[in-house]
Amino acid sequence: MSAFHIKAALLPDGTRTDLFVENGVFVESASNATVVDADGLQALPGLVDLHTHLREPGFEQSETVLTGSRAAASGGFTAVFAMANTSPVSDTAGVVEQVHSLGETHGYVTVRPIGAVTVGLEGQRLSEIGAMAQSRAKVRVFSDDGKCVSDALLMRRALEYVKTFGGVIAQHSQEPRLTEGAQMNEGALSAELGLAGWPAVAEEAIIARDVLLAQHVGARLHVCHVSTAGSVDVIRWAKARGIDVTAEVTPHHLLLTEQLASGYDARFKVNPPLRRDEDVLALREALADGTIDIVATDHAPHPLEAKECAWDEAAFGMVGLESALSVVQASVVDAGLLNFADVARVLSIAPARIGLLDGYSAPFELGSAANFTLYDPAASTVFGVEHLHGKSVNSPYLGRELPGRIVTTVHNGVATVLDGALVEELDRG
């Protein structure tokens, strides 16, 4: 494992300093260090994604822990939380330990598995939450993402039960009956296109119910991929009442709107769906004022054939790890709503805090694990498949000009990206 001397890095707080890394941690100085010139680059703490689909086990044609880890590293991430909708579902200690250990083996990022709330994501019985929490994977986040824990009693029990293990339920808020067959945001455009609507109320009603349940039982709730202005209002109200709720927004919901559905190009089909301009603006403001705590990618790889078909036959989801920071810059940083200290908060410090991931609370502190990325916000590129490092290419940004470029990523002192290129053989000492 080589030592690093990062010259003239601009830290999120605006100070410019040299950084030294040795034996995986930040140190005061290091000899025989590889010198990295960070002049003009923004240093950020290693990004943490609370919402990634790594697809392994079961859907290795879409992504594996290795390919997803590489995609993450190339996007500046040093830790990802892997969603539970694998096959078999991550609802037992065995599966989450497997995913966790694959992450350790590959080493590109820290992989923290998310456990399913219910057995098989079927919404019937609680899965073995305690066994997963006590496993080597130390699961703290539980989610049936892809499906909503729609049964109110089961949701109440889940919120209560995870308190036992200091966990949190990350809810995919989607009232199932209101969204049967749903294809895109319900409104004038879905009416014109003849695509079944996914009404905003189906998200907002579940969030409203869940924040009240969380208040009633004194539990902690995390709301996945908030997509509507109405949801923002509900969460703002809940936080004002002191309810222990956190919320995430995806990069694509900060930048893209439902108009992209009008050509029936299934790359733009995602769940929750792309919404209206006013929703995008409300989400940006909510991220700026702290109503929404974090950005999480909902990176959802799918093979080509799942998208090369009629819209309602296509799979939901888009990849997002590689483009996340650029899209955040394009949507909220360049617009002046967030600075890079805020970016460090919403893409690293806060998601690590919500997911109870250690080592991210005080970035760049001497003695702490060296997880960081160097980012060139002045760069600009037309996003293409060559920027994707996972197995799937279902990105909504292909052909679109995006700002910024990840130049270097270091995970626990090991460079995973150097000079803008993914490191093929990690130097793990």
Min dist. Cβ of residue 212 to other proteins (A): 26
Beta strands in 143-300 (DSSP E): 168-171, 184-185, 197-198, 221-223, 245-249, 294-295
Which one of 233, 244, 312, 376 is in contact with other proteins (CB under 8 A)? 312
User: CA-CA distance, 120 to 142, in Å (whole number)?
Assistant: 13
End-to-end CA distance of the chain: 4
Min dist. Cβ of residue 301 to other proteins (A): 19
**Segment interacting with other proteins, rule: CB under 8 A, options 29-37, 53-61, 181-189, 228-236:** 181-189
**Segment interacting with other proteins, rule: CB under 8 A, options 39-47, 190-198, 221-229, 411-419:** 190-198
> Binding of other proteins at residue 193 (CB under 8 A)?
yes
Which one of 14, 32, 39, 194 is in contact with other proteins (CB under 8 A)? 194
**Segment interacting with other proteins, rule: CB under 8 A, options 20-28, 149-157, 307-315, 387-395:** 307-315
- Comparing C-alpha atoms, which of 416, 373, 365, 405 is closest to residue 27? 365
Tell me whether residue 35 or residue 191 sits nearer to other proteins (CB atom): 191
Min dist. Cβ of residue 305 to other proteins (A): 7
Min dist. Cβ of residue 180 to other proteins (A): 9
> Binding of other proteins at residue 277 (CB under 8 A)?
no
Token pair 């999480």 is found at 296
**Segment interacting with other proteins, rule: CB under 8 A, options 108-116, 185-193, 251-259, 364-372:** 185-193
> Binding of other proteins at residue 366 (CB under 8 A)?
no
User: CA-CA distance, 231 to 238, in Å (whole number)?
Assistant: 11
Phi-psi region of 54 (alpha: psi -120 to 50; beta: other; left: phi over 0): alpha
> Binding of other proteins at residue 192 (CB under 8 A)?
yes
**Of residues 15-74, those binding other proteins (CB under 8 A):** none
Contact 109, 371 (CB under 8 A): no
- Catalytic, out of 233, 298, 334, 376: 298
59 sits in which H/E element: none
Q: At 420, which amino acid appears?
A: G
Tell me whether residue 189 or residue 356 sits nearer to other proteins (CB atom): 189
**Of residues 367-406, those binding other proteins (CB under 8 A):** none
> Binding of other proteins at residue 336 (CB under 8 A)?
no
Min dist. Cβ of residue 200 to other proteins (A): 10
User: CA-CA distance, 406 to 108, in Å (whole number)?
Assistant: 15
Phi-psi region of 371 (alpha: psi -120 to 50; beta: other; left: phi over 0): beta
- Comparing C-alpha atoms, which of 322, 301, 300, 252 is closest to residue 76? 322
Min dist. Cβ of residue 189 to other proteins (A): 7
Calculate the CA dihedral of residues 122, 126, 127, 131 and round it to 10 degrees: 170
- Comparing C-alpha atoms, which of 350, 338, 298 is closest to residue 47? 350
Catalytic residue at 298? yes
Calculate the CA dihedral of residues 26, 28, 30, 35 and round it to 10 degrees: 70
Min dist. Cβ of residue 260 to other proteins (A): 13
The alpha helices in 321-370, defined as continuous H runs, are 324-328, 340-344, 350-354
> Binding of other proteins at residue 270 (CB under 8 A)?
no
Min dist. Cβ of residue 121 to other proteins (A): 25
Tell me whether residue 313 or residue 401 sits nearer to other proteins (CB atom): 313
Which one of 82, 195, 245, 282 is in contact with other proteins (CB under 8 A)? 195
Tell me whether residue 120 or residue 199 sits nearer to other proteins (CB atom): 199
**Of residues 245-264, those binding other proteins (CB under 8 A):** 263-264
Which one of 309, 341, 366, 382 is in contact with other proteins (CB under 8 A)? 309
Query: How many Cβ atoms are within 10 Å of 229's Cβ, its own excluded?
Result: 19
211 sits in which H/E element: helix 200-217
Residues marked active site are found at 298
Q: Which residues bind other proteins (CB under 8 A)?
A: 183, 186-197, 199, 263-264, 305, 308-313
